[in-house]
Amino acid sequence: MKKIYLTAAIVMGLFVVQSISALPLNLLNDTIAFDTGIHATPNWNVIPGQDNSGTWLSWNITQVNDVWRYEYLWHTDGRDLSHIIMQVSEGAGANDFWNWQFQYSGIEDSPEIGWFGQGPGNPGIPGSVYGFKLDLEDDTPIFGFSFETWRSPVWGDFYAKDGKYEGSDVYAYNLGFLDADVNDGRHIAVPNGRLIRIADGGLTVGLLGLALLSVAFIRRRLVARA
């Protein structure tokens, strides 16, 4: 698959952090971090603080007519990410997602969609999840990706991994991985199986405007909230 990169403007402004620990989280635009919403092994178990940006996952979701645009950013101060799995509704197929774009690395092939569970490739994953998997071409501690779909957002799960650190596997997942997919501060926003329109068009316009803010701003907000 050809590498596709986000434009420089989007690079510096995809994601906006509103809260990393307060409940409830915002389904359309928010962040979970270690250790308020993410379980991570050494050396990804870094809490955002004054001397680091920590480990976190942000999302920004907007809607134009019947199309939803999902934008995610993974960040860690530890080892590089090698692949990430995002839950989607069971039965979703490749044709349900389009206009894929990536930042900081491309991916090795088209997104793989199906069931992913425990095994050598996904050490420490708490259970099986139906979703898509992105295998990075170049390992990186920061990875942005976006896509469009007709599927509306709901609460769900993610899993991420690298290789090993001091002989132990490096991986992370949301703390509510085995729990009901509810707004408990331990899940992320993922694509559902049905279309829902946002009644207030001003909300969509506002969020698109917020996309002009930078990744550096996210880091400052995380440190400020630590």
Alpha carbons 40 and 38: distance in angstroms, whole number: 6
Q: How confident is the model at residue 218 (pLDDT cuts 50, 70, 90)?
A: low
Give pLDDT tens digits for 104-121: 999 999 999 999 999 989
Mean pLDDT, the chain, whole residue set: 82
Q: Please identify which residue in the block is written with the tokens 């635009």.
A: 29
- Domains in the chain: how many in total? 1
Residue 164 lies in domain: 8-225
Is 91 contained in some domain? Answer: yes
Predicted pLDDT at 49: 83
**Contact at 8 Å (CB) between 56 and 222?**
yes
Residue 10: pLDDT over 90: no
In 3D space, the residue among 34, 30, 39 whose CA is nearest the CA of residue 75 turns out to be 34
Is 2 contained in some domain? Answer: no
Give pLDDT tens digits for 64-75: 998 999 999 999
Give pLDDT tens digits for 122-178: 999 999 999 999 999 998 999 999 999 999 999 999 999 998 899 999 999 999 998
Is 1 contained in some domain? Answer: no
Is 208 contained in some domain? Answer: yes
Higher pLDDT, 129 or 19: 129
Is 3 contained in some domain? Answer: no
Residue 17: pLDDT over 50: no
Peptide bond into 141 cis (omega under 30): no
Is 75 contained in some domain? Answer: yes
**Contact at 8 Å (CB) between 223 and 53?**
yes
**Contact at 8 Å (CB) between 170 and 41?**
yes
Is 61 contained in some domain? Answer: yes
